[in-house]
């Protein structure tokens, strides 16, 4: 801060104190003249002016130090705080907390944007592969080519739906309505939504959910999670197998388990199933796997405040368990 600006700022800040000091000096001089007959006013004026200049000088130094620290606070991620100075601790301590909060938020946003860009890049790559296969199959025109076209068209549809869901998840708070939901009706609706998949794959659903149980969730988003888990259970089940949906209560809340009797997952792949685009060994054996479904299930469950756990054994099937709050 320049000297002239510092002086002007100081006079502006201390104008009330200066006026009060000047008034006090005048009263003292008048009192000395009236009660003691003192006619010499130069001495008390000189002493008063000297004390005022000393006070203003000390205030100017403090103001200059304070404005310098404020200027540093604009760019510094963290400021040293004098704990012995109450004003310093309150002002700059609060500014440090604000800095830390904004830095944390910026880091989270940066990570979110980076992750989203990675997801969309992979989606675009997957869709380009499908488009290329469709082009090649269309040139052939055989019955096998038509099957390939239908399969790749299904992948494109699935990828587009996942993209739209991800975009909606970015603005989750505006599209979220927590309410008390009947769990049996929620499960039945999700199973009916996958009825065609059950029929096509020759897999049978079995629902063992208490019809009286209610949980707090968002019906639409929770239904989307259940449909995704059911889709996976159907996809990796053997023909004639059963997909079971069971509920139970414990001290943690309401547990809902979707289990199948399918091929299961290798032990080394289980810890990574909720990572984006991770497909593991099953993904190499089943080309339709995208590795995004369970990632979105975990993401949605976290947003809804539910927990989700996956247990699996190769050749014995997979169980996905959600924990809901009943209060």
* CATH number for 291: 3.30.565.10
Residue at a domain's end among 75, 100, 118:
75
Q: Is residue 148 part of a domain?
A: no
Domain finish residue from 55, 75, 95: 75
* Residue 168 pLDDT: 66
Q: Are 182 and 213 spatial neighbours (Cβ–Cβ below 8 Å)?
A: yes
Q: How far is residue 268's CA from residue 280's CA, in Å, rounded to a whole number?
A: 9
> What pLDDT score was predicted for residue 173?
57
What's the pLDDT score for residue 65? 76
Domain count, the chain: 2
Residue-wise pLDDT tens for the chain (327 aa)? 566 776 777 677 777 777 877 787 777 777 776 766 666 677 667 777 777 788 778 888 877 777 777 777 776 766 777 666 666 667 777 777 777 777 788 877 777 777 777 767 766 766 776 777 777 777 766 777 777 777 777 777 767 777 776 666 666 656 677 889 999 999 999 999 989 889 988 999 999 999 999 999 999 889 989 999 998 999 899 999 999 999 998 887 899 999 999 999 988 999 998 887 777 776 666 655 667 788 889 988 998 889 999 999 998 999 999 999 866
Task: Answer yes or no: do 307 and 195 share one domain.
Answer: yes
Are residues 205 and 68 located together in one domain of the fold? Answer: no
Within this chain, do residues 327 and 196 fall inside the same structural domain, yes or no? yes
Look at residue 186 in the predicted model and tell me its pLDDT: 95
Is beta strand 242-250 parallel, antiparallel or unpaired with respect to 253-259?
antiparallel
Does the pTM exceed 0.75?
Answer: no
Q: Is 66 in the same domain as 181?
A: no
Residue 123 covered by a domain: no
Q: Are residues 324 and 210 in the same domain?
A: yes
Element (H, E) at 232: helix 219-235
Residue pair 301/323 in contact by the 8 Å Cβ criterion: no
Which residues, 6 or more positions from 278, have their beta carbon under 8 angstroms from its beta carbon? 269, 272, 291, 295
Shared domain for 56 and 190, answered yes or no, is no
- pLDDT confidence of residue 277: 72
* pLDDT for position 150: 73
Which of 199, 190, 195 shows the shortest CA–CA distance to 227?
190
Question: Quick check: is 42 in a domain?
Answer: yes
Cα 159 → chain centroid: 23
Would residue 215 count as lying in a domain?
Answer: yes
313 and 196 belong to one structural domain: yes
Which of 75, 103, 138 terminates a domain? The answer is: 75
56 and 194 share one domain: no
How many helices (H) and strands (E) would you count in the chain? 10, 7
Asked if residues 225 and 283 have their Cβ atoms less than 8 Å apart, the reply is no
Range of the domain at 28: 3-75
- Residue keyed to tokens 């065609």: 196
149 lies in some domain: no
Residue 52 exposed, middle or buried by CB count within 10 Å (0-12, 13-18, 19+): middle
| pLDDT score for 179 | 87
Q: Residue 227: enclosing H or E segment and its boundaries?
A: helix 219-235
Tell me the C-alpha distance between 256 and 209, whole Å.
Answer: 8
* Whether residue 318 is found in the same domain as residue 197: yes
In a domain, 222, yes or no: yes
Query: For residue 168, is it within any domain?
Result: no
Residue 105 lies in a domain: no
Q: Specify the pLDDT at position 149.
A: 77
**What is residue 301's predicted lDDT score, i.e. its pLDDT?**
92
Q: Are 327 and 209 within one domain?
A: yes
């Amino acid at each position: 801060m320049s000297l002239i600006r510092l002086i002007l700022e100081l006079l502006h800040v201390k104008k009330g104190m200066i006026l009060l000091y000047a008034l006090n000096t005048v009263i003292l001089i008048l009192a000395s003249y009236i009660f003691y007959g003192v006619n010499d006013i130069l001495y008390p004026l000189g002493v008063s002016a000297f004390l005022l200049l000393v006070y203003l000088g000390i205030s100017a130094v403090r103001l200059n130090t304070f404005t310098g620290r404020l200027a540093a606070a604009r760019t510094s991620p963290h400021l040293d705080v004098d704990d012995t100075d109450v004003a310093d601790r309150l002002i700059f301590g609060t500014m440090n907390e604000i800095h830390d909060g904004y830095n944390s938020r910026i880091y989270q946003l940066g990570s979110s944007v980076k992750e989203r860009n990675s997801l969309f890049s992979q989606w675009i790559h997957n869709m380009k592969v499908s488009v290329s296969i469709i082009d090649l199959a269309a040139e052939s025109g055989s019955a096998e080519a038509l099957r390939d076209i239908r399969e790749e068209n299904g992948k494109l549809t699935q990828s587009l739906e996942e993209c739209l869901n991800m975009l909606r998840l970015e603005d989750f708070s505006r599209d979220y309505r927590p309410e008390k939901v009947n769990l049996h009706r929620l499960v039945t609706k999700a199973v009916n939504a996958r009825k065609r998949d059950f029929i096509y794959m020759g897999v049978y659903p079995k629902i063992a959910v208490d019809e009286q149980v209610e949980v707090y969730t968002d019906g639409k988003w929770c239904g989307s999670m259940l449909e995704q888990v059911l889709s996976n259970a159907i996809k990796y089940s053997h023909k004639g197998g059963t997909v079971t949906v069971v509920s139970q209560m414990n001290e943690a809340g309401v547990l809902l388990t979707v289990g199948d009797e399918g091929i299961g997952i290798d032990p080394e792949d289980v810890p990574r199933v909720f990572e984006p685009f991770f497909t593991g060994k099953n993904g190499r054996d089943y080309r339709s796997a995208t590795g995004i479904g369970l990632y979105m299930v975990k993401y949605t469950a976290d947003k809804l405040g539910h927990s989700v756990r996956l247990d699996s054994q190769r050749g014995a099937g997979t169980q996905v368990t959600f924990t809901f709050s009943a209060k």
